[in-house]
Structure 1
Amino acid sequence: MKNSPEEKMLISVVTPVYNGENFVKSAYDCLCRQTYPDWEWVVVDDGSTDGTARRLETLASGDERIRFFQQKNSGTAKQPRDHAVYEAKGGFVLPLDIDDQLSDDYLERMAERQQQTDADIIYPQMLFVDLDSGKTTQTLPAEGFDTDKVYETRELVKETVPEWRIGCNGGLYRKSAWINMSYPEKKEPIWMNSDEVDERLYLIHAGKAAFAKARYYYQNHEASTTTRISPKVFHTQKTALQLLGIMEREFGKDSEEYRRTMRRTFCDWRWKMMLFVKHHEELTDADAEIQRNLSDCFKRLDASVLTKAERIQFLNLRSFPLVLALYCLRYNRALLKEKVMQRRNPEGFANTYTRKREEEKVCRETARSYLQGKTLNSYEPYVISMFCGNAPSGGLIDRLRGAVSVYQECLATGRAFKLHFTHPFLLTDYLVPGTYDWTVSPDEVSFSPMQSRTLIASSVYDSPGERQMHLKQIQQALVSSRDVQTHAYTNAAFCYDNGFAQSFRELFKPSARLQQHIDKIKAEIGGSYVTVSARFCNCLDDFNEEVYCEPLSVTERQQLIRSCIARLQAVRDEHPHDKLVICSDSTTFIEEAGKHFDIYTTPGTISHIGNDGVHNYEYYERTFLDFYIIEGASATYLLKGPHMMMSGFPYAASLVGGKELKTIQF
């Protein structure tokens, strides 16, 4: 329904943001320059770990047009964007990415065009800008497209495949239409580029669409999630299959829309195959998941959409292993050898290729610190376990077991041991020296290549052979560099074979603040208790995990939770008089367990220090509380089902508590 000419409609500009503090001001300034006055900016922060929330709160406190919300990290732009739409007060919503820009008359032109046409969607001119050069690399709608016409949205679907001939970013949408398509029964599973699916759904169902001469500047830059090579890039294969299913359902296999989408799916699959093979070293951790995605997409491809030459080149799409081998031969022949070794000897593969990549990554990251390092007037030749943010270091137990391993060898070789743990928090906020003083001032740590040597030993496949290799490597390093500092970047696990519990207590005890909270929790539990740990990573789609792990389907999640609940019942039956304490990285599982049993969980935020950069005490305290609650339990268990992680966290805590961790595998 049209507004009267003198009545201006409120436009709700909706923005999802994750770690976008560097773009907050430019996005706000862009809105403040608008010639159209009736707007609000609804921003949802998707669990940022930088200063994004602080900047937005400051802006919102001084401008009532800004409405700011926060939520737990979802890992996608869709969920916070839909959240913002639900919070919007206007009848029309306009998505703006935090790192993009609008022409000063953008809102005015979009509103005018909607008033003229009463369309459900108004699309702008979309300009793709390379931030490095400042040049416009592409403009949509494509040349020759009639932007004066008012379209039935369904007829525009074919203008989006195989390539976009219209630009959808920054469109003006009737809020009711958006909500109908985004929630809940028509909602598609969320993967990277899920807006590719949503936009087609809007076009299929919305009604009318028109175009305005308003300019939306889509800015390409290095930090953009759409330009980085990461495992999430390969989620687009799942998005492509979703889109293919929609086209088949809505238009049929004989339609032009379906055939164009199949062609697009093939071209995207071909591109992703090349990326996977050429950039395999950067994607090793996600190798199995990515290969499965590519294989699933391969099985859906229809050879009839290909040219004769393509059908021959891709073996008529009959054998994924053979096609993968062809790509390896063309782009990365060494990968063939890796794949053979990975299949025949997983441990050997981890101890060669995987370890080499991990250690080279640490070497690259730490090099910057030493290239810029200053020479100290005086220094002590300490052996220092380093966790100061200049290299990837893993989770808490990865770090602490590495420190304990180095400490044990320092005692054996007569070297002075120190621990430089400053990122993402000061370890001394939670753990202080036990009987051995490992503290060291940052001013005592020399990054001068003349005064220090680096020791890099990454554990990637914990085995007796790997532990012995690390033991010899560290022993040799400590003996050969006695006159300079030895900076150890390691998560070596050989300490587990040599009095880990005693060494841990010599090094660490809870800080006064942490101990006070531990005592409070034990008082709340009120007696003997058993702990059950369960590490889901992101299987249940509720935890942003450092380890690459794709969410399971809804059906698989439900089955996994049911299986875990059944194992909890067995623990409950074995310990009928003990309190059941759940230590897990999944709020979904904890909530479900609470429906079946009288459980206790430690309060606070579920976090992973290898993946987060937040700097406050409360954010990480729960991890330490869980450790000491497990340490003090009468019995400890670990659930290990399909896709779940064999966590070392409860194992280490159980060792410190003098108990054997019982692993329940199913």
Structure 2
Amino acid sequence: MSKKKKQIMLFLYYSKHFSLKPIKTKQIVVCFDGLFPHGGLVDRLKGIVSFYLIAKALGYDFKILFDTPFELDVFLQPNAIDWKFKRSNVKWHPTKTRCLYFINNFNANPLAVIKKSNASQFYVYANIDYSKSIFPELNQDDLEKKWREGFNQLFKKSDFLEEKLNTISTEPFIAFHSRFTSLMGDFKDTTSKKLSAEEKNRLCDVLLQIINRVKAEEQQKAYLFSDSINFIKHIKQQVEINTIEGNPFHMDNFEMRSGIEGHLKTMIDFFMISKSKKVYFLKVKPMYNSSFSKYAAIIGNVNFECLEV
């Protein structure tokens, strides 16, 4: 979709909420309303935390409109600030409101864009971690600390999510995570490449060797997290390893609608990884990168290592 078409879509949507009522408080609203594909859980959290940090730096009010494909507060509740924002609150002033589309815009500097604008209210669509451009003076460790603090100021787990997590053993464990997207033939994602049966077996054998080596070194209980249920089943047949029940599910996989249980699985995986003693991300060619376990490790303040072959 072209940039011009996106701008037209935004104008047509927000102009329906036309209002000349004065905007008294400067405000940033990060939106996940289904108007565009927004990405998976971590992509959404990147956008949320980035613009919370911007709002905090500028002294703006901060809100989150997140009702697609579920209401965010089912899983994550406001912690230090009340960020809830409903569609019924949407208002569009012709000169004081501005819509900003930053999805997959890695080169943008949204802090500078907002500071230069004469608008008072911003509806933002974003899925990038902009902390480096917000705090260029900080090193990686300090950036991660800043991100973790922002996340914790925004969110606490809902009772529903906490209860589900509490049913799982808290015995110390290490976490393995992998991302295949379509490679193992589970589902279509942003990619469509599928491996042959021989290629799948060869890849699984390499990954199994890595898992066995790390398990032998760590001598710890281990959990395996992956977007491929086929891979999980294959590994469980070969080695003793723990997994979380349910099928992996991507929030923007519109061809595969899921009830709340599918999204609960994503949340449980994420926060379980954050509780681990150490996170190992498995990446053997032609597998794909993922920020899922990296940001879970940041939230949990646990060590993260990418095992790349």
TM-score norm. by structure 1 comes to 0.42
After TM superposition, give the deviation of residue 442 of structure 1 in Å: 2.1
Aligned residue in 1 for 2:69 = 424
Amino acid at match of 2:176: V
Residue of structure 1 aligned with 2:202, choices 548, 559, 577: 559
Structure 2: how far apart are the matches of 1:511 and 1:361?
A: 37
1:276-334 Cα offsets, whole Å, 9 max, x none, are xxxxxx7xxxxxxxxxxxxxxxxxxxxxxxxxxxxxxxxxxxxxxxxxxxxxxxxxxxx
Aligned residue in 1 for 2:110 = 474
Residue of structure 2 aligned with 1:443, choices 79, 85, 88: 88
Amino acid at match of 1:425: F
Amino acid at match of 1:399: R
Amino acid at match of 1:642: K
Structure 2: 5+ residue runs without aligned partners?
133-139
Aligned residue in 2 for 1:98 = none
Aligned residue in 2 for 1:602 = 244
Structure 2: how far apart are the matches of 1:551 and 1:558?
A: 13
Detail structure 1 runs of 4+ shifted over 6 Å in the superposition. Answer: none
1:469-508 equivalences in 2 (<5 Å): 469-470=107-108, 473-481=109-117, 483-495=119-131, 498=143, 499-508=146-155
1:381-420 equivalences in 2 (<5 Å): 381-420=26-65
Aligned residue in 1 for 2:136 = none
After TM superposition, give the deviation of residue 375 of structure 1 in Å: 2.3
User: Does 2:180 correspond to 1:533?
Assistant: no
Aligned residue in 1 for 2:191 = 548
Aligned residue in 2 for 1:103 = none
Amino acid at match of 2:115: V
Aligned residue in 2 for 1:569 = 212
- The alignment partner of 1:369 has SS state of helix
Change (3 A) 1:361 1:563: farther
Amino acid at match of 2:273: I
Number of aligned residue pairs: 296
User: Does 2:261 correspond to 1:625?
Assistant: no
Q: Higher Cα Rg: structure 1 or 2? A: 1
Change (3 A) 1:411 1:604: same
Amino acid at match of 1:434: N
User: Does 2:221 correspond to 1:579?
Assistant: yes
1:505-543 Cα offsets, whole Å, 9 max, x none, are 11112111001111111x2xx511111001000101112
Aligned residue in 2 for 1:590 = 232
- Asked if the contact 2:223/2:241 (under 8 Å) is kept, the reply is yes
Change (3 A) 1:369 1:624: same
Aligned residue in 2 for 1:514 = 161
**Sequence identity (%):** 26
Residue of structure 2 aligned with 1:458, choices 96, 99, 103: 103
Change (3 A) 1:418 1:398: same
After TM superposition, give the deviation of residue 427 of structure 1 in Å: 0.7
Aligned residue in 2 for 1:363 = 7
Amino acid at match of 1:368: L
Change (3 A) 1:366 1:563: farther
Amino acid at match of 1:536: F
Aligned residue in 1 for 2:137 = none
Aligned residue in 2 for 1:372 = 16
- Asked if the contact 2:17/2:90 (under 8 Å) is kept, the reply is no
- The alignment partner of 1:624 has SS state of helix
Q: CA RMSD in A?
A: 2.1
Change (3 A) 1:555 1:362: farther
Structure 2: how far apart are the matches of 1:441 and 1:364?
A: 22
Higher relative contact order (CA 8 A, sep 6+): 2
